[in-house]
Structure 1
Amino acid sequence: MTPSRLPLILAAAASTLVLGACSTMPASMYSQASLPPTVQVPAGHMVAMETVATGELTYECRDKAAMPGSTEWVFVGPKATLADRAGKKVGTYYGPPATWEANDGSKVSGTQVAVAPSGAGNIPYQLVKANPAMGSGAMMGVSYIQRVALKGGAAPATGCAVDTKGARVVVPYQGDYIFWKAS
């Protein structure tokens, strides 16, 4: 081996060690402690699956409840692809009702427990109490679904008026959906 090649060999060996160390890192990429208390999952649960959703949220311009002549953007439904941390598609998210479906055909819906602000232009953090899963597979036993790490998706701040009632707008978003099971 020539001395000029030694740095290249050492760099390759170091890269292999670093990559090997990364493959043993824990899958969870977030902390409950970093979330608002209202959207933290109750004690006694463990992460069953982590997904990254990429998709869109649809809003419709409608009359405000009990406020004739006033309008607002109202959430109509989601449409997103769920991928694992490696980027492989593992399911879909759609609604109404809000439904998370794994590629194996199992699916779950739920009831919103809490939301908390997640930053300007982003939809809020969310905690959902899951209904019993339909079908057997990845969604079996899911007790809570948590929405975190959000980018975009908020309803437009303008453009909804009496003369535009019924108009729909589709807003792109990304977020992590963390599925929890009782431990």
Structure 2
Amino acid sequence: MTTDYAVQADPDLVSGAQKGDTRAFDELVRRYRDKVYRLSFKILRNEDDAAEALQDAFLSAFRGLANFKAESTFSTWLYRITTNASLMKYRKRRDNLVSLEQSQNPGEGAEAMQLPDWSTQPLDELLDSETRQVMEEGKRLLDEDLRTVFILRDEEGLSNAEVAEILDLSVAAVKSRLHRARLRLLDRLSRYFADRLTRRDRGR
């Protein structure tokens, strides 16, 4: 009787792969490769590096599958491996990046700064290509620990608990880093919109 791997749940596929069924692992790869690549690309912002991180992640998962325990879901475990593989590649390029925190060197109490209110901006303006470019640049300049939490939590939609497990942090630490990342990005966007409105007013 032919086994239909596509309809099997992750725990069944993991169990089969741990027993040496390579087709079960192939199905896990097929099921998660797009998500793994997407996460790697968001961290690395480079297609070739993301593709290499994807290969590294699944190779590490295959090698470590025998030690995987159902204390966490397979997807969370794989996300942790993917994040680590991507960050290893990112750190090799880190010297070429300038940290926004280092360049601004904010002092104590910087988190409580008053930010301009740009929440009334039209949605199409918030989503235009120039604004997205500003947002992407802001994410690129975030410190690694803040950027990783922001990607996992706000872009991948994982819960605080899942992010904490992936990064081996407390939930409180995840919330703190997420708050700081959002403030950095909000500050960058606020300054961008203030400048944009000034330029628009001058053009009238």
Bigger fraction of residues in helix: 2
TM bucket, shorter chain: under 0.3
Give the structure with the higher percent strand: 1
Structure number with higher relative contact order (C-alpha < 8 Å, ≥ 6 residues apart):
1
TM-score w.r.t. the length of structure 2 is: 0.20
